[in-house]
C-alpha cells in the first residue's frame, strides 16, 4: 500500500513539474502574430529593344526587400498575395506597374518588365513652421529625385519625383520635417501631406543670459524647444579664470545666443577673456547671435571695426527696410514701419548704430533714409564662423507678427551650422 502511495506521489510531482515548465491548461498570454505567407515571384527586366538589363534595382512598393537583376536581367522576389506595385529603376530609366501576386506554391513568372525613360510627377509640398504657419526659404527634396525646391512665402513648392511611395524631406538649418507620399502610375500631379518643421535637438544650443534681454523666453515661441542656459556673468568669470576652459564650453554647442549683455562686464570682470573665448569659437566655425548691447562683443571681436558709435536720435517714427532679397521673399515685404514695446515704443533710431562695419559684413536690414547707412541686422564673418547682430531687443517686437517673421527667418537661417 505504501509503495503504491509513493508511486502516486512521485507521478503527481512529475506532472506538476511538467506543468511548471510547459504550462498545463493555460493559454499563452502573448501569442506570436501569425506570419504573413509570402510567395515567390520571378521577374525579367529588359530594355526597349528587348535585351536583358543587368544591375537594375527591383522591389515591391512598401516592402523592404530590394534585389538587383543578374546578367540575364533576372531577379526573384517574395511578396504577400494580392495587389502589389512592382518598381524597377536604373539611373534615369524606371518603370512602375501594378501586379497581382497569386497565392500559389509554385513561383509566379511575370511578363517582362520593360525599362523606359522615367516619368516624373509634380508633387505639391507645403511647409509650416513649428507654430503651423506657412514658411518660406525651406529646402525640399524627395528621395530618388535629383532636383530640389525651396518653399515660397506661402510655404509652397513643387518637386518632381518617380512613381512609388516616396519620402518627402524639408530642412532649414537645424529645423526639419519628413513625410511620405504615394505616387501611382498614371498620376498627373500629387499633393503631399503638410510638413511641419521641428528643431533637431541633437544639435546643442546655449543661451548666455543677461538682465537686459530675454531671448530664452522668446525662443520657445518660435520653435526652439531645447537649449541650455548660463548666466553671462558666470561664463565671464569662468573665462577670466581659464579662457581655454571657457572655449571648451562653447565648442560643445552648434549655436550660442548672447543676450543683450550689460556694459558692466569690463576687462577686470572677465569681459576681455569672454570675448577671446568667443572669438576662437567663431573662428573654428561657431555661430553666435547677439542683440543690442551685443555690440560690446563686436567692438572686441571685430576690432578695429565697430568703434564709431552713433547713439541715435529717437525719431518719432521710422521704417525698417529689408536689403536681403531672400529675407524679403520669406517675410513678404521689403519695408515696414517699426513697432516696439521697449520704453513705450522705442524706435530703431533710438538704438546705437555703427558706420565702420567690416568690409565683408552683410547688412540684411537697415533704417530707411539714413545716411550713412545704419544697419540694424548685420551678419559678420570670422574664420569659418558667423556672428549675427541685431541692434534691438527681439522680445520687444514679439507682439508684432510681421516683425517676428524677421526673427524667425534670421535665427532659422543662422542655425545652418557650418
Q: Report the distance separating Cα 163 and Cα 204, nearest Å.
A: 38
Question: HSE (CB half, 13 Å, CA atoms) of 269?
Answer: 8
Do 399 and 357 have their domain in common?
yes
* DSSP letter, residue 52: B
3 state DSSP class of 385:
strand
Residue range 319-354, pLDDT digits in tens = 899 999 989 988 889 998 888 877 677 777 777 788
Tell whether 17 is covered by a domain: no
Please provide the DSSP assignment of 218-279 as one string.
HGGGGT----EEEEHHHHHHHHHH-HHHHHHHHTT-SEEEE----TT--GGGTHHHHHHHHH
Do 231 and 158 have their domain in common?
no
Matching residue, cell 505504501: 2
More confident residue, 32 or 141: 141
Tell whether 8 is covered by a domain: no
Tell whether 43 is covered by a domain: yes
Reported confidence tier of residue 316, pLDDT bands at 50, 70, 90: low
Based on the structure, what is the number of domains in the chain?
3
Domain final residue, candidates 117, 135, 150: 117
Do 166 and 294 have their domain in common?
no
Highest mean pLDDT among 7-11, 87-91, 252-256: 252-256
Tell whether 249 is covered by a domain: yes
Do 166 and 213 have their domain in common?
no
Tell whether 188 is covered by a domain: yes
Tell whether 344 is covered by a domain: yes
Do 189 and 212 have their domain in common?
no
Do 312 and 363 have their domain in common?
yes
CATH number at residue 262: 3.40.50.880
Do 127 and 260 have their domain in common?
no
Do 230 and 375 have their domain in common?
yes
Q: Which of 96, 166, 179, 160 is CA-nearest to residue 122?
A: 160
On the question of pLDDT at 132 being above 80, the answer is: yes
Task: Tell me how many helices (H) and strands (E) the chain has.
Answer: 8, 29
Give the domain extent around 162: 121-198
- 287, with CB counted inside 10 A (0-12, 13-18, 19+), is buried
- Poorest-confidence range of 26-35, 65-74, 118-127, 141-150? 26-35
Tell whether 258 is covered by a domain: yes
Residue range 22-78, pLDDT digits in tens = 455 555 555 665 678 889 999 999 988 889 999 999 988 888 788 999 999 999 999
What local confidence, expressed as pLDDT, does residue 15 receive? 47
Strands of the sheet with 82-90, listed across from one edge: 66-68, 57-60, 82-90, 93-101, 116-117
CATH number at residue 82: 2.60.40.1120
Tell whether 25 is covered by a domain: no
Do 257 and 288 have their domain in common?
yes
Do 331 and 237 have their domain in common?
yes
Query: Mean pLDDT across the chain, nearest whole number?
Result: 84
Domain final residue, candidates 164, 198, 232: 198
Domain final residue, candidates 143, 165, 198: 198
Do 379 and 395 have their domain in common?
yes
More confident residue, 3 or 245: 245
Do 257 and 171 have their domain in common?
no
Amino acid at each position: 500500500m505504501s509503495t503504491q502511495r509513493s508511486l502516486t506521489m512521485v507521478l503527481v510531482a512529475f506532472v506538476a513539474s511538467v506543468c511548471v515548465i510547459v504550462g498545463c491548461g493555460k493559454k499563452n498570454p502573448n501569442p506570436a502574430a501569425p506570419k504573413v505567407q509570402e510567395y515567390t515571384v520571378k521577374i525579367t527586366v529588359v530594355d526597349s529593344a528587348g535585351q536583358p538589363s543587368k544591375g537594375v534595382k527591383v522591389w515591391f512598393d512598401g516592402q523592404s526587400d530590394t534585389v538587383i537583376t543578374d546578367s540575364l536581367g533576372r531577379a526573384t522576389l517574395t511578396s504577400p498575395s494580392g495587389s502589389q506595385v512592382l518598381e524597377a529603376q536604373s539611373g534615369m530609366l524606371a518603370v512602375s506597374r501594378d501586379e497581382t501576386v497569386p497565392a500559389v506554391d509554385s513561383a509566379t513568372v511575370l511578363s517582362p518588365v520593360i525599362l523606359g525613360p522615367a516619368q516624373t510627377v509634380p508633387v505639391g509640398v507645403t511647409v509650416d513652421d513649428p507654430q503651423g504657419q506657412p514658411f518660406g526659404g525651406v529646402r525640399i527634396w524627395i528621395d530618388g529625385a535629383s532636383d530640389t525646391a525651396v518653399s515660397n512665402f506661402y510655404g509652397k513648392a513643387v518637386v518632381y519625383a518617380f512613381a512609388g511611395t516616396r519620402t518627402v524631406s524639408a530642412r532649414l538649418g537645424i529645423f526639419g520635417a519628413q513625410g511620405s507620399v504615394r505616387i501611382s502610375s498614371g498620376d498627373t500631379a500629387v499633393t503631399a501631406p503638410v510638413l511641419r518643421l521641428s528643431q533637431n535637438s541633437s544639435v546643442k544650443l546655449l543661451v548666455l543670459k543677461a538682465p537686459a534681454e530675454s531671448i530664452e523666453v522668446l525662443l520657445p515661441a518660435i520653435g526652439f524647444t531645447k537649449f541650455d542656459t548660463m548666466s553671462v556673468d558666470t561664463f565671464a568669470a569662468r573665462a577670466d579664470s581659464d579662457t581655454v576652459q571657457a572655449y571648451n564650453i562653447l565648442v560643445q554647442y552648434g549655436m550660442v545666443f548672447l543676450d543683450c549683455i550689460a556694459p558692466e562686464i569690463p576687462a577686470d570682470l572677465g569681459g576681455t577673456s569672454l570675448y577671446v573665448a568667443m572669438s576662437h569659437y567663431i573662428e573654428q566655425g561657431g555661430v553666435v547671435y547677439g542683440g543690442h548691447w551685443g555690440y560690446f562683443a563686436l567692438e572686441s571681436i571685430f576690432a578695429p571695426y565697430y568703434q564709431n558709435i552713433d547713439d541715435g536720435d529717437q525719431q518719432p517714427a521710422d521704417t525698417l527696410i529689408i536689403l536681403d532679397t531672400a529675407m524679403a521673399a520669406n517675410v513678404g515685404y521689403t519695408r515696414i514701419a517699426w513697432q516696439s514695446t521697449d520704453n513705450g515704443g522705442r524706435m530703431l533710431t533710438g538704438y546705437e548704430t555703427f558706420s565702420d562695419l567690416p568690409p565683408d559684413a552683410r547688412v540684411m536690414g537697415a533704417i530707411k533714409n539714413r545716411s550713412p547707412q545704419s544697419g540694424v541686422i548685420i551678419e559678420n564673418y570670422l574664420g569659418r564662423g558667423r556672428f549675427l547682430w541685431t541692434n534691438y531687443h527681439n522680445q520687444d517686437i514679439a507682439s508684432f507678427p510681421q516683425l517676428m517673421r524677421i526673427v524667425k527667418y534670421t535665427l532659422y537661417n543662422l542655425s545652418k551650422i557650418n
